[in-house]
Amino acid sequence: MTHFLSLADFTPKELRQILDLAINLKDEWKAGGNEPLLRNKVLAMVFQKPSLRTRVSFDMAMRHLGGDALFLSPSEIGLGKRESIADVSKVLSGFVDAIMARVFSHAHILELAKHANVPVINGLSDFNHPCQAMADALTMLEHHGDLSGLNMTYVGDGNNVAVSLMHLSAQLGINFTISSPEGYQIPEEVVIKARALRKNGAATLELNSDPHQAVQGANIIYTDTWTSMGQEQENQKRMEVFPPYQINSLLVSEAESDVIVMHCLPAHRGFEITDEVADGSHSVIFQQAENRMHAQKAILVHLLNKSH
């Protein structure tokens, strides 16, 4: 059974095939609509965390492709509380064609996949966010034409989004720099894995605590919220640590003139990113958001329509 749990599970060729499919499906949709490649297919969407982009983008992706999506709220499922994760996975496998889950613990995603007889898609966990990274890659392609050799600088918390971006960069030849404050760096095992994923050392990987130095030569600057869901008790401390890592006009001016600024949203404006940058000429944050739908169409077709 093929699942979509981590970009590290795929080869560079497979990731490029999914991205090519995303481009084609987006072009087709813009030209009048998608073919019903997933007719009579149903996606179960399991949520432990609130969502705007993940819920709507997956729902609309299925609709555009002729399928359907079923929203299951935290109170309806209660993963591991009301019912064991293994039982939920087995029951859903008998009803639907695929399961997408947005969870707190990555262990829950792995457990769902272990017991499922249908593909499981990681809609976000505390470890990584592979669907977001695929939408980001699509956005980068649209602006820069080629990913290989691009310089991406991620500024901020070494969180789940950063993990998937690092894996993506290692796989597709993007030079990746991450600038985080002491104590909030990306996990060491992620760095080790990313170095192993690099093909012939094609992509560079750098850890840097100085954001101004890190954005030198950057074609892409990426940031995310300083405090993720589930870390609310750390918020006050993080608000004291992260202000030097804000994406503002000064920082953007220190990168390449054609730099694009990315944020997976929701944005806490005035904190990790200023209004001036979020709404400015370098920002592609709303294009990124739309591309969640198109990238996820490609992931769904890749998993559910083997003839395509």
Instruction: Classify residue 254 by its DSSP letter.
Output: T
Burial class (CB in 10 A: 0-12, 13-18, 19+), 28: middle
**Spatial separation of the C-alpha atoms in residues 64 and 33, rounded to whole Å:** 7
Active site residues: 102, 129, 132, 224, 264, 292
Under 8 Å CB-to-CB from 177, ≥6 apart: which residues?
Answer: 151, 152, 153, 154, 205, 206, 207, 208, 214, 218
> Nearest-CA neighbor of 260 among 141, 156, 176?
141
Structure tokens at 289: 């958001």
**Spatial separation of the C-alpha atoms in residues 231 and 26, rounded to whole Å:** 35
**Spatial separation of the C-alpha atoms in residues 57 and 134, rounded to whole Å:** 13
